[in-house]
């Protein structure tokens, strides 16, 4: 299996468990003692954590390590929903930032 496929499965499953535990990225990052930026990179499949970090993430999510590597953990409809949610959140955050800039910068 290609390494990027493994990174993508890990990314999707961490996001899945984080959402189901109702944790923000910053909350999970704090629990796992990693930076939000690093967690974001893991969740986007850009980086792969060391074993020690992976262990802290699984402890923080209260899951076994092998659960984070299940290719079929997230049903297809959940993948689509998570993708839409991510796009909607990004759009709303960008709109909010633009509004703040507009208010303060004229």
| DSSP-derived secondary structure for 35-79 | -HHHHHHHHTTS----HHHHHHHHHHHT--GGGGG-TTSS-HHHH
Residue 93 pLDDT class (50, 70, 90 cuts)? confident
How many secondary structure helices (H) and strands (E) does the chain include? 5, 0
* Co-location of 62 and 106 in the same domain: no
- Domain range for 10: 1-71
* Co-location of 6 and 30 in the same domain: yes
| CATH code of the domain in which 13 resides | 1.10.260.40
* Co-location of 10 and 45 in the same domain: yes
* Co-location of 82 and 98 in the same domain: yes
| pLDDT tens digits, one per residue of 15-60 | 999 999 999 999 999 999 999 999 999 999 999 999 999 999 999 9
**Structural domains of the chain, count:** 2
* Co-location of 53 and 82 in the same domain: no
Residue 80 pLDDT class (50, 70, 90 cuts)? low
- Three-state DSSP at 1 gives coil
User: Ramachandran region of residue 33, left (φ > 0), alpha (ψ -120 to 50) or beta?
Assistant: left
């Amino acid at each position: 299996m290609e390494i990027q496929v493994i990174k993508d499965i890990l990314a999707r499953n961490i996001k899945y468990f984080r959402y189901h535990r109702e944790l923000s990225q910053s909350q999970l990052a704090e629990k796992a003692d990693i930076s939000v930026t690093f967690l974001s990179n893991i969740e986007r499949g850009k980086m792969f954590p060391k074993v020690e970090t992976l262990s802290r993430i699984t402890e923080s999510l209260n899951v076994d390590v092998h659960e984070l590597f299940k290719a079929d953990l997230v049903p297809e409809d959940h993948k689509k929903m998570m993708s839409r949610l991510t796009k909607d959140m990004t759009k709303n955050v960008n709109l909010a930032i633009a509004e703040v800039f507009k208010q303060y910068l004229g």
